Chain A
Amino acid sequence: MEHQEHSISIWFFIGIELVLYGLLILGAGIYNLFVPPANPVVLYKLHSGIWWGAVLFIGGVIYCLKFKPKKKA
C-alpha cells in the first residue's frame, strides 16, 4: 500500500502499537521500581521493563513521524 499515497502505511500502524506498548511497559517498569512486585522475576535488578519499554516507545515515535499519513492531493 506504500504506492497509494492516500492510504495509511502499515509502518504507521506499527508505530502506533509500539508507542502504546512502550508507554504501558515503561509505566509498569517505573511503578515496579518504587513498588517492587511480591514475586520478582529472575534478574529483576536489570529493570528490563524500563529500558525495553523506552526502546519500544522511541522506535514507535520514529515510525509514527516517518510514516504519518499524508493528506490527499
Chain B
Amino acid sequence: MKGPASLVSLGTIDVLIIAIYFALVLIIGFYLKRYTKTGEDFFMAGRGMTSWIAGLSFVAANLGALELMGWSAATYQYGILATHWYWIGAIPAMLFLAIIMMPFYYISKTHSVPGYLQLRFGSSSRALSAVSFGFMTVLMSGINMYSMALVMKVVLGWDIHFSIWVSSVTVAVYVGLGGLLSAIFNEVLQFVLIWAGALLIPIIGLIEAGGWENMVARIKQNVAGMDYVHLWSGTGSFSANPMGIHWVGLVFGLGFVISFGYWTTDFLVVQRVLSAKDLRSAKMAPIIGAAFKMMVPFIVILPGLLGLAVMPGLVGETQAIATGGHSYNEVLPLMMARYLGPGLLGLGITALIAGFMSGMAGNVSAFATVWVYDIYKPLRKKVTDAHLVKVGRWTTILGVLVSIGTAYLVMQFASIMDYVQALFSFFIAPLLATVLFGMLWKRATPAGGFWGLLAGTVSSIGMWAWVKFINPAALSIIALSPDAKPMSENMFRALWSWIIAALVTVVVSFLTKPKPENELVGLVRGCTELPSEGHLKLVQRPIFWAGVVFAVFVILNVIFW
C-alpha cells in the first residue's frame, strides 16, 4: 500500500486514526437507515435539520480535499488573492440566498432547483437543468475521485485503485443506507474533523514565522517584485498582481455571477438548506455557513502564505517533475509533514480524506435526488413513495459507479479533466439568470426562462470553444485586456453568459404570454406573502445575523485591503 516516494510516512497510530474514521462513518450510515423510510426522509433528510446542522453541512459539502489542497497551492502561487474565493466569492451570495431567495425555495416545497424551475417555468427548463446538473455532477465526482486518489498516491504512496475503491464504496454504503440524512450527519462530522486536523498548521506556522508581521516581511523578501499580501490594492491593473486579474472581474464575475450562481442555484449546496426544519432555520443555515466560510482561509490560505515564508522555492508541477523537487501543489501536505508528529499527522490526513468524502457524498446525494424527482419520476405515470426510495438507493450506487468509471476514464485521458471542469461552469451563470428572474420578476414567462437558459449555456460553450480551439488570442477580447490570464477569462465568460441569458429572458418574456399571478404564489416575489418575523426578538431574526456577518466581511476586506 505504501510506496517509497511518498511525501509523508504514517505510523501505526496514524493508520488507526484513519481506520476509526472509516468505521464511524459506516456506523452512522447503518444507524440512520432506520430513520430513512420515506422519500422525504431519504432525499430531504425529513426536512427536520436544525439551522446549525444544515448550515455546517451547507459549507462542508463545498469544503472538499481538493479545495483545501488546491487553494493552499493557489495561495503559494498567487498570494492572498486566493482569499477572494472565500470572501467576495462566497459571503454576499450566501447572505443573498438566506434573506432573498430561501423563502421561495422553502415555501414552494420543491425537492430541488430543477424542481423549482418546473414550478416556475415548466418542464422544458426543468429537464434542461436536471439533465445538465445530473450529468455534470457525476462527472465532477469522478474527476474529484481521481484527483484525490492521485493526491493520496503522491502524499502517502497509496495505490491509486485502493484509494478510489475504498473511499467510493464507503460513500456508496453510507449515502445508500441513510440518504441525505446520512450525508448531512457525516458532513458535519467531517467539518469538525477538517478543523481539528488542519488548525494546528497555521498556529504552529505562525509561531515559527514569528507572527503575522514577520511572516509578511519574509514573504516580501522571498518573492520580491510582486504584491502577495494585499487583497485589493494590486487589482487596479491586470499586470500589478500575480493572478493577472482586475477588480471588475473579481467583483462582477467572481463576486456576482460565479459566486451567486454556485451558492444560490447549485443544488449540491442548496439541497442542504432545503432540509431545514422551518423557514427561519432555512434562512439561518446559509448565514451560519457564511460565518464559518469566512474563517476557512485561516486553515487554507494562511498555510499557503506560511509556506511562502518558511518554505520558499517550491515550483510548478512541470518544473518539479523535471528537477525532482517539490511542487507548490504539495504545500499543504508538506506543511503537515513539517509540523505534525505521530497521531496529529493521521488526523491531518483524515481531514483530507474527510474533505474528499464530504464532497463526494454531496455530489451523489444531490444527483440521486435530481435523478429521481426531476428525470425518473416525470417519465413514470404512477410511482409509490417506497419505490422512489428504492430507486434513490440504487441511483446512489449507480452514481458512485459512474463516478468510478469517470475516474478511470480520466486516468487514461487526462485532458478530459480540463474540459469537464470548464463544462461545469457553463451551466452556473445562465442558471443564475433564469432563477433570479424567475423569483424576482413576475413578468418572466416559461418561454423566456427556457430560451434564456439555453442561450446563456450555448454562448458560454461558444466562448470557451473560441478560445480553446479556434483563437487563443480571443481571451483578450472576452476578458477585455491583453494582460488577462485564464483565471480572468473564466470570470468574464461567466459575466457575458449571464448577461446574454438575462437579455434573452427579458426579450422573449416581453414577446410571450406570462403566467397568471395566481399560479406564481409561493414562487415569485410580489406574488407571495412572506411570513412576518416581527414577533421575534432582534437576535432571533436572520436579517440581524446576516448584517453582523456582512459587517465582519467588510471589516476583514478593509483590514487586508
Query: Which residues of chain A have a CB within 8 Å of any CB of chain B?
Result: 1-4, 7-8, 10, 13-14, 16-18, 20-21, 24-25, 27-29, 31-32, 37, 40-44, 46, 48-49, 52-53, 56
Contacts and interface: CB of A to CB of B under 8 A. Distances in A.
B341 A40 contact: yes
Instruction: Specify the main secondary structure of chain A where it touches its partner.
Output: helix
Contacts of A28: 13, 341-343
Contacts of A14: 188-189, 192
B342 A49 contact: yes
A14 B477 CA distance: 51
Interface residues of B, number: 34
Contacts of B208: 42-43
Given A18-B196, A53-B343, A10 B53 contact: yes
A10 B342 contact: no
Interface in B194-212: 196, 200, 204, 207-208
A1 B341 contact: no
Contacts of A37: 341-342
A52 B342 contact: no
Nearest to A53: B343
Given A1-B48, A1-B49, A31-B342, 19 more contacts: A2-B53, A17-B20, A17-B21, A17-B24, A17-B189, A17-B193, A21-B196, A21-B343, A24-B13, A25-B343, A25-B344, A28-B341, A41-B338, A41-B340, A42-B338, A48-B344, A49-B342, A52-B344, A53-B343
A28 B21 CA distance: 18
B185 A10 contact: yes
Contacts of B48: 1, 3-4
A43 B24 contact: no
Interface in B32-82: 35, 48-50, 53
Contact of A29 (B181, B193, B341): B341
Contacts of A18: 192, 196
A40 B204 CA distance: 14
Contacts of A56: 196
What 8 A-B pairs come out closest when comparing CB atoms?
A28-B343, A25-B343, A28-B342, A10-B185, A28-B13, A41-B341, A42-B338, A2-B50
B501 to A, nearest CB: 39
B277 interface: yes
